[in-house]
Amino acid sequence: MQLLIIVLLISFVVFLFGLHILAKEDLIFVRKNVTIEALFNVAFYTAGIGLLSARIIYISLHPSLGFFNPLVFFLFPYFPGLSLVGGIAGGIVFVLLYKRKKYPSFRIFDFFSMALLGALPFGFFGHQLLSGMRDLFSGVFLPIIFFLTLLFFVKILIPLNLRGEIRDGSLGYLFLVVFSFTTLLASFVRSTTGTQVFLQIDNVLLILLFITSSVLLFLQERETTFFRKDK
């Protein structure tokens, strides 16, 4: 499991590279005086919070007295594991609450989500390589789905956002919808228990994430549509 650190580091480097490519010439960041260096600082903070929340959520779902030992708690490569949905949820909450210098939190949320879409394929593929590629859906099809979703965001949705037809934050909510749905689908595909897969605690969290993000996306875009018609 020590090799998991390498997979996480590669994924994080891809995330930073994608964030740099996507945000380096964004006009809103330029007007708000949000530099790439500042975004990277937020990214490192978010990664730390996300890793911590991923560990806490995993321990909450898989309680054991051994985790009360600080070494066991923090040395997750030797004493796995991590909750992906917990890490993403914790990171998102941090980004949306981060108010330093009046940063455009929802726009940062959008761009972090797109950068994460570029990093997730490496994470899923690398994790499955370490596991012997026992789950082809998670190791092959999920990376393809996330990559195609990223292309759709970049080619279709970002121009709509720049024209004001999609509000800041909607891309992030849409990412959560896609992530939670496809991850649930992966759990269902590899499950041998049928509908009982939806009773597993991890999948219950994904269902809650899917419902919450879908409702927030609907409410936000409905408000945008209302104001557009009003004008």
pLDDT in tens, 191-206: 666 556 666 777 888 8
Strands (DSSP E) contained in the chain are none
Distance in angstroms (rounded) separating the CA atoms of residues 101 and 108 = 13
Give the pLDDT score at 59.
Answer: 86
Which pLDDT score, from 0 to 100, does residue 112 have?
96
Residues 88-97 have pLDDT tens digits of: 999 999 998 8
Is the pLDDT at 179 greater than 90? The verdict is yes
Cβ pair 91, 50 in contact under 8 A: yes
User: Residue 35: which residues within 8 A CB-CB, separation 6 or more?
Assistant: 29
Is residue 228's pLDDT more than 60? no
**Predicted confidence band at 79 (pLDDT cuts at 50, 70, 90)?**
confident
Residue ranges of alpha helices (H) inside 98-169 are 105-130, 136, 142-152, 158-162
- Distance from C-alpha of 134 to C-alpha of 73, rounded to nearest angstrom: 27
Q: How far apart are CA 59 and CA 53, in angstroms?
A: 10
Q: Which domain holds residue 104?
A: 3-230
pLDDT grade, residue 226 (50/70/90)? Answer: very low
**Contact (Cβ atoms closer than 8 angstroms) between residue 50 and residue 90:** yes
When mean pLDDT is compared across 34-48, 75-89, 176-190, the lowest value belongs to: 75-89
Which residues 6+ apart lie within 8 Å of 205 measured at CB? 57, 83, 85, 86, 89
Domain count, the chain: 1
- Contact (CB, 8 A) for 189 and 138: no
Average pLDDT estimate for 153-178: 91
Whether 231 has a pLDDT exceeding 50, the answer reads no
* Whether pLDDT at 223 is above 70: no
Joined together, the tokens standing for residue 179 give 């992530």
Specify the pLDDT at position 101.
66
In this predicted structure, what is the pLDDT of residue 177?
Answer: 95
Residue 3: pLDDT over 80: no
For residues 146-167, give the mean pLDDT. Answer: 90
* Per-residue pLDDT tens digits for 101-150: 678 889 999 999 999 999 999 999 988 888 777 778 888 889 999 999 99
Q: What is residue 225's predicted lDDT score, i.e. its pLDDT? A: 54
Measured distance CA(63)–CA(34) in Å, rounded: 41
Mean pLDDT value across residues 169-173: 93
Over range 24-50, report the average pLDDT: 90
Q: DSSP labels for 152-183? A: HIIIIIHHHHHTTSS-TTHHHHHHHHHHHHHH
CA-to-CA distance for 55 and 47, rounded, in angstroms? Answer: 12
Whether residue 1 has pLDDT greater than 60: no
Answer yes or no: is pLDDT of 209 > 50: yes
Report the pLDDT value the prediction gives residue 192, as an integer from 0 to 100. Answer: 60
CA geometry: angle at 210 spanning 206 and 214, to 5°? 170
